[in-house]
Amino acid sequence: MIQASSEQPLQTRRRFVAYFSGIGLSSTLLPGVLWAKLQEKPTPAITLDMVKDAARLAGLDFTTEECEMLVDDVNKNLTRFETMRQTHLDNSVPPPLYFNPLVAGMTVDRTKRPFRPSKSPVVSRPANLEDVAFWPLTHLAQLIRTRQVRSVDLTEMYLGRLKRFNPKLNCLVTLTDDRAMNQARQADSDIAAGRYRGPVHGIPWGAKDIIAAKGYPTTWGAEPLKDQVINHDATVVERLDQAGAVLVAKLTTGELAFGDNWFGGRTNNPWNSEEGSSGSSAGSAAATAAGLVGFAIGTDTGGSILSPSLRCGVVSLRPTFGRVSRYGVMAAGFSLDKIGPMCRMVEDCAIVLHAIAGPDGKDLSVPHDVPFNWEAAQEVSKLRVGYFGEGFENEKREEWKANGLRSLDALRLIGFDLRRVELPTNDLNYFIEYIERSAGFDEFARARKDEHLRRQRHRAELRYSHLVPAVEYLQANRIRMLLMQQVAHVMSDVDVVVATYESINPLTSMTGHPVVAVPNGFTTNGTPTGITFVGQIYKEAELLAVARAYQNATDFHTKHPPLGSVA
């Protein structure tokens, strides 16, 4: 290295003066300053002070000397990050790390058996077809199967109700009326020719608007994406197409699957339009409760099927993680997202799950050898039912608490010997979810598209998890495994646990257990209350059987919201 010294030859110094003059530095600078400039190293992007701050953020007690050892490697990682960001990663690209809700010691029934729903009910078409708007799927199916009602007629009726009541509920993003009428006509043609496909054939349904339907916007509830069109059908849409169902609407979702506010405003509760419908499967719950669809499909990452169902008084099933393919559905949490039916009766959920469940070769979290076997006539008295006592005792909403305790009494009257169980509590679900959301929406946030979100808190929710060390995310998932083992141990003694929603959510979302929400009463202001049933992993059949026994012993599902006359 050339050393700055007064003994250097004059011509060498003149060359450096000429060089620095050429890059814009004055030739009148003292020679010593020029030599100092020559020896300066570029300032690293990540400095020692930054490493110290990052260590403190990670809770690491490093000395200055220890932090100095990290500076070069951290800067190398920064270069790797910049290279990685040059690869386009759509929200739909999952990591090759697939969450498995099974823990050691669990047994799963892998024998496929015939699907056996209840005996078809005896039904007659009413003089006014709109009187069937609130009928359960089983009854609507019988009208279609016996050709008392055409799918075209049923579809036109629900399309009309969607148009009429949406101004009050704000639950509709896009009517898929052209597609719906084509599907309804095809259903009528097939049924007339003796090609009846089963109980969802010809039944109008609605999809939460993070579920892709080819040719229609899939907005994710967000203003920056309101014109987004995903040019393929989600697997759940394909499955329902194959079963002959009729897609009539894309229903509202909270912005990026958060809450009940979307770019078009708030989705309202049909029982009280001054309240929101909760979220983020807001439109699916509201439309089902208001009799605007035969059933709907929602998604759930940390309660987004269950919460709006309880608020709006409908029955819903959040299946075991991995039961239904998520291909074509916005990713909110790669290891947490689930897709499930939102209906008016428990058996309706079994029917829809049967149509949509199973592997598709695209979502690799869905196992190939775990069938859903529904036997409506199974003997429920042999099933072991527990209840999470602490959850009922700690319920702060007095009317919800009272209705929950009455639900336990009703289950005892049915004949269940309820066993008190204790479940762990933990809120790691949302910690893990927001980190996975930050990854899924990384490009969205870096492009500052989040500046146009309706709820600006989302900007922080999509960004602050970038500051979480990767080690802490992995440690959270290791703690998650411990929680999974604890819950599995509790559930090994019972088939189903009855609980309040707040006491088992988001715990069961994180562990992957299936949950059913069922209405169980009303508050003094006329809005519904509800209760949840938790089942063992991949044992939705037993779970639904217990929930169905409870629903059959009550009549809350027969009540309908006072929508009034809307022009």
**Catalytic site residue from 278, 304, 438, 465:** 304
Contact 507, 554 (CB under 8 A): no
Dihedral over alpha carbons 363, 86, 431, 70 (to 10 degrees): 130
- Cα(254)–Cα(258) distance, rounded to whole angstroms? 5
Selection from 261, 549, 141 nearest residue 382 by Cα: 549
Selection from 254, 304, 298, 184 nearest residue 457 by Cα: 254
Task: Supply the pLDDT for residue 42.
Answer: 64
Task: Supply the pLDDT for residue 566.
Answer: 54
Pairing of strands 496-499, 385-388: parallel
Contact 342, 316 (CB under 8 A): yes
Task: Supply the pLDDT for residue 41.
Answer: 58
Q: What backbone phi and psi angles, to 5 degrees, belong to 537?
A: -55, 125
Q: Which ranges in 204-319 belong to alpha helices (H)?
A: 235-242, 282-289, 306-312
**Catalytic site residue from 151, 277, 278, 280:** 280
Residue reference for tokens 């009922």: 392
Task: Supply the pLDDT for residue 565.
Answer: 62
Task: Supply the pLDDT for residue 444.
Answer: 94
208 classed as catalytic: yes
Task: Supply the pLDDT for residue 471.
Answer: 95
Task: Supply the pLDDT for residue 16.
Answer: 39
Pairing of strands 338-343, 295-300: antiparallel
Contacts of 220 (CB under 8 A, 6+ apart): 209, 210, 228, 253, 255, 256, 257, 330
280 classed as catalytic: yes
**Catalytic site residue from 52, 208, 338, 539:** 208
Q: In 3-state terms, what secondary structure has residue 324?
A: strand
Q: Could you list the mean pLDDT of each consecutive 10-residue stretch along the chain, which spans 567 residues?
A: 40 41 43 51 82 92 94 92 94 95 95 96 97 98 98 98 98 98 98 98 98 98 97 98 98 96 97 97 98 98 98 98 98 98 98 98 96 96 97 96 98 98 89 95 93 85 89 95 96 97 95 98 97 98 98 96 74
pTM: 0.91
Residue reference for tokens 């959301």: 437
Contacts of 526 (CB under 8 A, 6+ apart): 271, 272, 562
Residue 150, by phi and psi: left (phi above 0), alpha (psi -120 to 50) or beta?
A: beta
Residue reference for tokens 């009494």: 409
Q: Give just the sign of the alpha carbon dihedral 463, 465, 469, 471.
A: negative
Dihedral over alpha carbons 219, 222, 224, 226 (to 10 degrees): 30
Q: Give just the sign of the alpha carbon dihedral 547, 551, 553, 554.
A: positive
